[in-house]
Copies of this chain bind each other. A is one copy, B any other.
Amino acid sequence: MRNSLVDVVAAALRVLGAQGLEGCSMRRVAAELGVQPSALYHHVPDKQSLLALMADDIVAGVGARARKRAAESREVPGAAGSRPAGTGSAVTRPMAMGPVGSDSAEVNRRVARCMCEELRSTMLATRDGADVVATAAAFRMGASDLEDELAELVGRDGARTLLIYTFGQAQQTQMHRQAAAFGALLGAPADSSGPAARADRPDPAGPSPTESTDGLDEAFARGLDVILTGLAA
């Protein structure tokens, strides 16, 4: 056997990283594999299915990483047990041991926050990742593992609201940064938050388009706060 499904998905992810979603055609994925385009249809029924598999791959491990991060941040304040990130329901009722006055619902919201942050930064880490994941996720909204995990923490409505916001904000961030990167290639200022003061800024090897002075990370944090505050009421 020459290629398996995982080879196809891996090749597709390589093309995505190199050419972006627009350049991620079936023909290019086939070329990456050194194979005729028609060969792909032995592994996958159509392009949409391939994109869904790519999305699954991109998003894999978000839950586990978020749980770990949440557990670590809980060690800092005052709790005792280190507790290696359990396999699932261990997190359903995490011990209420944060600062004084925190109940289990508040802890759950903190974990939910970690999951959204981890999801967003994971999507942002691969080129056009937010688009790929959001489209595939929207297709089976109400049937994803991540939504179920979030639902146990903040309820169904909370989970849906958080996910919709996280996907949308990530898509926006990625689109904005790719536009900025494109503009930077042309030597254009691309920012212009005000119609004044734009003279000689040499742009001395400024931050990469993946990690930003655009304030979108902070804006995401504030939006998350709004939603989590609303859920606490």
Whether B233 contacts A229 by the Cβ 8 Å rule is yes
A104 at the B interface (CB under 8 A): no
Question: With A138-B172, A139-B175, A165-B168 as given contacts, are A157 and B223 in contact (CB-CB < 8 Å)?
Answer: yes
- Residues in B with CB closer than 8 Å to A227 are 161, 226-227, 230
Whether A164 contacts B158 by the Cβ 8 Å rule is no
Within 8 A of B (CB), among A215-233: 219, 222-223, 225-231, 233
Whether A176 contacts B230 by the Cβ 8 Å rule is no
Set B157, B165, B172, B179: member contacting A222, Cβ < 8 A: B157
Set B164, B222, B223, B229: member contacting A168, Cβ < 8 A: B164
Question: With A139-B175, A172-B141 as given contacts, are A164 and B230 in contact (CB-CB < 8 Å)?
Answer: no
CA–CA, A227 to B165, complex, Å? 10
- Residues in B with CB closer than 8 Å to A225 are 230
A126 at the B interface (CB under 8 A): no
CA–CA, A222 to B84, complex, Å? 35
Residue-by-residue, is A133-158 near B (CB-CB < 8 Å gives 1, otherwise 0)?
00000110100000000000000011
Whether B165 contacts A161 by the Cβ 8 Å rule is yes
CA–CA, A176 to B138, complex, Å? 9
CA–CA, A167 to B172, complex, Å? 12
Chain B residue, CB-CB nearest to A157:
B222
CA–CA, A141 to B172, complex, Å? 8
Query: Can you name 20 extra interface pairs (CB under 8 A) apart from A139-B179, A225-B230, A229-B229?
Result: A138-B172, A138-B175, A139-B175, A141-B176, A157-B219, A157-B222, A158-B226, A160-B219, A160-B223, A161-B226, A161-B227, A164-B165, A164-B169, A165-B168, A226-B227, A226-B230, A226-B231, A230-B231, A230-B233, A233-B233
Name 20 A/B residue pairs within 8 A (Cβ), A-sorted.
A138-B168, A139-B175, A141-B172, A141-B176, A157-B219, A157-B222, A157-B223, A160-B219, A160-B223, A164-B164, A164-B165, A164-B168, A164-B172, A168-B168, A225-B230, A227-B227, A227-B230, A229-B230, A230-B230, A233-B233
